[in-house]
Amino acid sequence: MIAQRLTARRLVQLLGDWRGAGHSYLELSESIALLVRDGTVPAGTALPAERPLSDTLGVSRTTVSASYQRLRERGIAHSRQGSGTVIRAPRGIAAETEAGGDGEIDLTTACPAPWQGLAALSARAFAEHPEAFQLLGYDTIGRRDLRQAIADRYSARGLPTAPEQIMVTLGAQHANYLVARTLLRRGDRSLIESPSYPNAREALVATGALVAELPVASDGYDSASILDIARRTSPHLAYLIPDHHNPTGQSMPEELRAELITTLTAQGAYVLADETTAELTLGRAGLVRPFAAAAEHAHQQDAIITVGSLGKTVWGGLRIGWIRAAPELIARLEVSRRIGDLGTGTWEQVLALLALEQYDEILAARAIEHQAQYRALAEQVAAHFPEWTMPRVRGGVSTWVDLGGHHSTRLARAGARHGVRIAPGPRFGSPGVFERFIRFPFSAPAEDLRESVLRLRAGWDADTGADRSVLAAQTVI
């Protein structure tokens, strides 16, 4: 069964600035492979027929044919009768790197290493909560003690919260999708920052909603432009990452928060504030005021839905997130949830409860760890890519690096050949934009960050060296 058929025009948009000066069919196949690796083109997708794609790209049909054959040889695609060339599941993609067997470095997920206290936490859970194994395990709202602990955390951060305002979810993306599915209908207007977290955008698009964009620059926010767009859009739901924004790492100015909340809620909009990375600071941990605390009136707070998670702070494998909202909306979300899943695992909730008891300790360790990693990345970028501009950030897991030219897709392709995977800029916005940027996560170990920059430099030099060779050949008569 074919999940979808990709049009030639859409694929060209997704490819961005893919051309280099090497063999066009190899560059095309590698660029499509990057889209498959990061999930932009999912398994089961039928690629465009060769002739329409060659016409749209402005290359020969032979180039497209050779590119598709290369994808089939690598196990990324296969031929299917009546469907043409179809993408296989990602596990069939071979690494095919030139990294000398050192292993691939994956920087596409921006996910910190597991917190080192997990084993001890699990031992505590077994010793202190044997009653968990006596429960049925179907829980669509969350354990009362865990919801109380999450509510207490919000209260300590300056946003008084009761457990009735909390639903425990299967991570933040589950929460984002549940909210979008519950509140949006086909044709509704929605709003998202640009760039932003790709999976959140896909959650909005999946509802059939129209998606407008609020610009977030690598060095901050243009308040006047953001407020103007918010007024003109009149969205039903606005998705924001106000603290340590993904991918830029920037945080929304305090003076903009209240005004943006007022602007959006006056139009009847819900605001979905994703605070997955809000409490990840650099250097020193501290309580971060929630976005909803900037609301000036109670009815505005009722329109703000806050999503949090332990995935970035404790462990990506601990699938615990939550939604903070008005009790009436929580009840509505629970009814909607039962259509799609039967609740959050009991054992994961026990682990989350104990993790929150040590949350300040966990965040303090992360602040020191991420500060060292950010510094290591900044030093390597300055030494090996002086043409890049790496903004300063105060928290989160990534920074939005300006490459000084529209090279993002090409750099990602060159890096993949040398054993480092990095998400190109267009992955975080509308097709064809942000070719000047890459999201560079500093959540990986410092040694991996240093090595990744070296590999990117080697890959880029090899790629631009091919440019110089072609140019030299063209000038010889």
pLDDT tens profile 283-308: 988 899 999 999 999 999 999 999 99
For residues 85-102, average pLDDT: 57
pLDDT tens-digit series, residues 393-436: 999 999 999 999 999 989 998 999 899 999 999 999 987 789 99
Would the pLDDT of 161 be above 50?
Answer: yes
Enumerate domains of the chain plus CATH numbers. Answer: 4-92 (1.10.10.10), 105-111+361-475 (3.90.1150.10), 118-357 (3.40.640.10)
Distances from the Cα of 57 to the Cα of 36, 75, 146, 237, angstroms:
19, 24, 53, 36
The pLDDT, as a whole number, for residue 466 is: 54
Indicate the pLDDT class of residue 474, thresholds 50, 70 and 90: very low
Would the pLDDT of 442 be above 80?
Answer: yes
State how far the Cα of 405 lies from the Cα of 424, in Å rounded to an integer.
13
The pLDDT, as a whole number, for residue 96 is: 44
pLDDT tens-digit series, residues 56-68: 999 999 999 999 9
Would the pLDDT of 333 be above 60?
Answer: yes
Indicate the pLDDT class of residue 152, thresholds 50, 70 and 90: very high
**Rounded (5°) CA angle 347-91-173:** 45
State how far the Cα of 188 lies from the Cα of 193, in Å rounded to an integer.
17
Runs of H (alpha helix) within 187-317:
198-206, 223-233, 254-266, 298-302
Is 234 in a helix, a strand, or coil?
A: coil
Tell me the chain's radius of gyration from C-alpha atoms.
23
DSSP 216: -
The least confident of 18-22, 105-109, 219-223 is 18-22
Indicate the pLDDT class of residue 5, thresholds 50, 70 and 90: confident
Would the pLDDT of 475 be above 70?
Answer: no
Indicate the pLDDT class of residue 95, thresholds 50, 70 and 90: very low
The pLDDT, as a whole number, for residue 468 is: 47
State how far the Cα of 78 lies from the Cα of 74, in Å rounded to an integer.
10
Is 202 in a helix, a strand, or coil?
A: helix
Would the pLDDT of 98 be above 60?
Answer: no
- Annotate 377-399 with DSSP letters as a single string: HHHHHHHH-TTSB----SBSSEE
Cβ(41)–Cβ(32) under 8 Å? yes
Indicate the pLDDT class of residue 470, thresholds 50, 70 and 90: very low
State how far the Cα of 64 lies from the Cα of 29, in Å rounded to an integer.
8
pLDDT tens-digit series, residues 357-370: 999 999 999 999 99
pLDDT tens-digit series, residues 112-131: 999 999 999 999 999 999 99
The pLDDT, as a whole number, for residue 17 is: 74
Cβ(217)–Cβ(252) under 8 Å? no
Strand partners, 281: 395
Nearest to 175 by CA among 372, 344, 369: 344
Residue 420 is encoded by which pair of tokens?
């480092």
Half-sphere exposure of 165 (CA within 13 A, CB side): 22
State how far the Cα of 352 lies from the Cα of 318, in Å rounded to an integer.
8
The pLDDT, as a whole number, for residue 327 is: 98
Q: Which residue has the tokens 């929304």?
A: 252
State how far the Cα of 246 lies from the Cα of 193, in Å rounded to an integer.
10
The least confident of 32-36, 240-244, 296-300, 418-422 is 32-36
Would the pLDDT of 235 be above 90?
Answer: yes
Q: Which residue has the tokens 């086909």?
A: 186
Mean pLDDT of the chain: 91
